[in-house]
């Protein structure tokens, strides 16, 4: 679990620090106070799980680094997901890099004279070492971040100008982002450091209004279907607890008939044909999306995981969805 966060130039935050982060599970604050930015930094650090080496053209140093996985737990591309939620294209149209024949990423940034990251490469591990065959060309338009693994070998030029001289670099994971719309005043780098135990990057998701409105990715459905027993039965039971009118119904997931690569939910009552979950309104669809994802995640995570407690997630899911359903019903009653 992450415990501390130090920030430099991420989106609308020029600098900041949070301590005792591991004790926080609810963020409340006025508009434009950085709540979403905080969640985005946690998400990007946690989902960065593809190993590589960072090499700078100005030195002979090689540092262990990681970039975001190609798809998160829900089958979504991490950075494009965040770009889209802020009104940016899902693909970076003019990225400041290239892909070499050896499938390494090569970047040229304008960060000031003799900057360590003016000219650098992200090099994949040797073939056969792990199941990672290098960087595909698509990564150029969907990547703009790497995370350095905790090490005393990180040069001060990569730390002190951004995070100060008092940062214990051997205890922090430091992330660097160079996508201009996500950098304070769209110039230079956004940098942040997190202290704490890393979660499994393959078990990370980011829920927002876009995620709950869209259908599930086929990749997510296939994985959960073959790895989580009684998944649909658990969804059905939970939905009935929140929406009594669904008592006795079976909730299933099937490939969307009109949108390729997407899976959607259906509700089937005995003796009746299946009804799309969307026919039950926005509240039911949102609750279904949250339940389907978190029930799968808690089953795969288990109660012994240090970063995500299944019991806590189940309780949070039930409380949040019950509150959501109650609010929606109250709104409908007032409207009528």
Domain end marker among 132, 166, 198? 198
In a domain, 229, yes or no: yes
192 and 269 co-located in one domain:
no
Question: Are 65 and 54 a contacting pair, CB within 8 Å?
Answer: yes
Number of domains forming the structure of the chain: 2
The whole-model pTM stands at 0.85
Least confident of 11-20, 54-63, 102-111: 54-63
**In this structure, is residue 203 part of a structural domain?**
no
Final residue belonging to a domain, choices 198, 229, 250: 198
Q: What is the average per-residue pLDDT within 59-66? A: 89
* pLDDT per position as a tens digit, 250-295: 999 999 988 999 999 999 999 999 999 999 988 899 999 999 999 9
Query: Is 221 in the same domain as 113?
Result: no
Residue 329 domain flag? yes
Model pLDDT for residues 75-98, shown as the tens digit of each residue: 999 999 999 999 999 999 999 899
**Do 120 and 233 have their domain in common?**
no
- Helices of type H across the chain: 35-47, 78-85, 139-142, 160-163, 209-213, 218-225, 231-242, 282-301, 310-335
Q: Is residue 204 part of a domain?
A: no
Expressed as residue numbers, the domain containing 148 is 2-198
Q: Tell me the C-alpha to C-alpha distance, in Å, between residue 159 and each of 162, 175, 190, 298.
A: 6, 10, 12, 36
User: Same domain, yes or no, for 7 and 140?
Assistant: yes
């Amino acid at each position: 679990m992450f415990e501390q966060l130090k920030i430099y130039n991420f989106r609308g935050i020029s600098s900041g620090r949070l301590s005792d982060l591991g004790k926080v599970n609810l963020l409340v604050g006025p508009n434009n106070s950085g709540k979403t930015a905080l969640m985005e930094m946690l998400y990007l650090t946690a989902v960065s799980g593809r190993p590589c080496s960072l090499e700078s053209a100005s030195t002979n140093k090689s540092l262990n680094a990681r970039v975001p996985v190609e798809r998160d737990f829900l089958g979504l591309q991490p950075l494009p997901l965040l770009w889209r939620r802020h009104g940016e294209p899902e693909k970076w149209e003019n990225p400041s890099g290239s892909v070499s024949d050896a499938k390494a990423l090569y970047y040229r940034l304008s960060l000031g004279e003799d900057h360590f990251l003016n000219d650098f490469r992200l090099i994949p591990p040797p073939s056969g070492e792990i199941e990672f065959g290098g960087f595909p060309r698509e990564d150029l338009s969907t990547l703009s971040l790497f995370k350095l693994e905790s090490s005393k070998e990180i040069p001060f030029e990569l730390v002190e100008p951004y995070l100060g001289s008092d940062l214990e670099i051997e205890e922090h994971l430091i992330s660097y982002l160079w996508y201009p719309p996500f950098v304070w005043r769209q110039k230079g780098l956004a940098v942040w450091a997190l202290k704490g135990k890393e979660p499994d990057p393959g078990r990370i998701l980011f829920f927002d209004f876009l995620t709950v409105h869209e259908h599930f990715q086929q990749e997510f459905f296939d994985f959960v279907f073959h790895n989580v027993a009684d998944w649909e039965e658990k969804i059905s039971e939970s939905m009935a607890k929140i929406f009594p009118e669904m008592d006795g119904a079976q909730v299933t997931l099937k490939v969307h008939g009109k949108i390729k690569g997407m899976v959607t939910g259906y509700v089937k009552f005995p003796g009746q044909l299946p009804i799309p979950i969307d026919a039950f309104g926005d509240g039911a669809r949102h609750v279904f999306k949250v339940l389907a994802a978190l029930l799968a995640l808690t089953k795969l995570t288990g109660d012994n995981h240090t970063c995500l407690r299944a019991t806590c997630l189940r309780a949070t899911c039930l409380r949040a969805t019950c509150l959501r359903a109650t609010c929606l019903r109250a709104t409908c009653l007032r409207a009528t």
